[in-house]
Chains A and B, each alone.
Chain A
Amino acid sequence: MSAVRAIAVHVVRESVRDKVLYNLILFAVLMISASYFVGLLSAGQEVKIIKDLGLGATAVFGLLIAVFIGIGLVSKEVERRSIYTLLSKPVRRHEVVLGKYCGLVLTLAVNLAIMAVTVYAVLGYMSVTGSEEFRRGLEAPATDPAMLKAFFLIFVQLMLVAAIALFFSTFCGSLVAAGLTVGLYVVGHFTADLRSLQDVVDAPVAGFVAMGLSYLLPDLAAFDVSADVVHAQPVTIGYILLTVGYAFAYIGALLVGAMAVFSRRDFT
């Protein structure tokens, strides 16, 4: 486990060295400037829009980190030939994969935590400076703790995306791995459409294949509860547990696959 920890810490350090945390400054500037301009443009909907924008921007920034760091975790080591140095050390190949993944998840966790704090700070400021009438008119309190559910599910979704990126990274070059990960991210939002394809096409085989794919491909839309929390709709603990369980099972399968591919890969 110490090898996994050491590799994970190295990934986090490398992301700091690669100025990944600079995105947080951009995020903070985006949120603070949006809170000002949206107030001028939105006819009294600034809190809703800041919540939507905060959760949306967290998902986008997190996705960029998960994809662009994830695809480089293994493939860049191979392309730069630094993989030989790494593998010459007393570390097993599966520990490399696991350590890299844990490092990326840790990087995502730090980023998302800071983004969540920034969103709450902006909303808190709006709430404190707003009038009593303004606060009374809100669908949900500006600093509604229920938003943490949305942040948490975005984090779990990004853990899954990171696992996909890492999996492709073990046997593809960076560019191909990025294409495949982004492709799967997009398709992962259409699983419900795939499931209903057999109702709209008169081809039973195609319908059956689409149905199978809809269950096999990662259902990434399930992690999006932003609209519910913004409109103060309930998101049950049962739903969260089910979605997290689904994600962990999928991540487990992807990591086992990544470890298997990486363990058999010939670098000579």
Chain B
Amino acid sequence: MSSGLPERIGRWVSRPVTVAALVVPLLTFAVLLQVLKARATPTTPQTQQLYLSSGAALGRMALSFDSVVADVYWIRAVQHFGGTRRSDRGEKSYELLYPLLDLATTLDPRFDIAYRFGAIFLTEAYPDGPGRPDQAVALLQKGVQHMPERWQYLMDTGFVYYWWLHDYPEAARWFQRASTIPGAPRWLQSLAANTLAMGGNRQDSRALWGQIHETADDEWLRAEARRRLLQLDALDDIDRLMSEAEQFSVSTGRWPEAWSALVETGRLTAPPVDPLGHGYVLGSTAQSVTASAESPLAPLPDEPPGVVTP
């Protein structure tokens, strides 16, 4: 037994070379089997679950680590929003977005960005978002409750009423309330007055996004404001292109079948492109001009009937 198997194993494991010679192939074999197993049994993506929905209970369980748990829920909210938005599965469900944001802000009531970005995520129209301005308003109100000194939440609430709900008297009321908070910019007062007097015209929308772009603390918010400003430019372009197409239609008795028809008659110098360089789509049957589906600017925002264009 003195030169038996246990002794030989003892000798092997005492030499680094033999250890490496055994460990590397064994690990490689394990990885290979795992790859084969994954290919043989493709897993269906799991539906996301929220095991705990009570922020108060979660806060107690987190002991001193509420902020870290809040960060985890924030990252989950961002992943849920981005992942669902980019998924190519037919039905997109954003049903966990509000509960995740609600948990993040309950665990860390001063989580500023979770209120502001969260409201933007929630208002995005389906399929790019859940299209729930009501939830966005609820989230922002929670922020106001915890940080009444933040005029930004009041302005954002007004903005949801302005941009998404087209409820201009209510929007004006929130802009007015925001303007009374110490430290709020003076332009909020004139914005409130304009909103009340004129209802959403595109010039006011441009001014509003321009101010958000100028005053936002965060690069993501600034980028979102830039995108919205470009969407407004695209809406102006579409109005102009529709006018050209209609004039062509009046003079020739037919709707142009392609941009080339307008180019050939000298109404356009080239097929038109949006501010990001994607071509506009000329509808042949619906007599419409829209942004290309591939453009990051699509879909363009809805405007209320009778909107006053500059």
Contacts and interface: CB of A to CB of B under 8 A. Distances in A.
B7 interface: no
Chain A residues touching B, range: 20 to 34
The B contact surface, by secondary structure, is helix
A45 B71 CA distance: 9
A52 B70 CA distance: 9
A196 B65 CA distance: 22
Given A189-B63, A193-B60, A227-B108, A42 B68 contact: no
Interface string B72-101: 001100110000000000000000000000
A241 interface: no
Given A41-B75, A44-B113, A44-B218, A230 B67 contact: yes
A90 interface: no
Contact of B65 (A38, A56, A193, A223): A56
Chain B residues touching A, range: 20 to 34
Contacts, number: 70
B219 A52 contact: no
B246 interface: no
Contact of A139 (B65, B66, B112, B220): B112
Nearest to B110: A231
B214 interface: no
Contact of A48 (B71, B117, B217, B220): B71
Most B-side CB within 10 Å, residue of A44, A53, A220, A233: A44
B113 A43 contact: yes
Interface of B: 60, 63-68, 70-71, 74-75, 78-79, 108, 110, 112-113, 117, 216-220, 222
24 contacts: A41-B75, A42-B71, A42-B74, A44-B218, A44-B219, A45-B113, A49-B71, A49-B74, A52-B68, A52-B70, A52-B71, A53-B68, A56-B65, A59-B65, A60-B65, A131-B219, A134-B219, A136-B217, A137-B217, A223-B64, A226-B67, A227-B110, A230-B67, A231-B110
- Can you list the 4 inter-chain pairs with the closest CB atoms, starting with the nearest? A56-B68, A224-B64, A137-B217, A52-B67
Interface of A: 38, 41-45, 48-49, 52-53, 55-56, 59-60, 131, 133-134, 136-137, 139, 185-186, 189-190, 193, 220-221, 223-224, 226-227, 230-231, 233
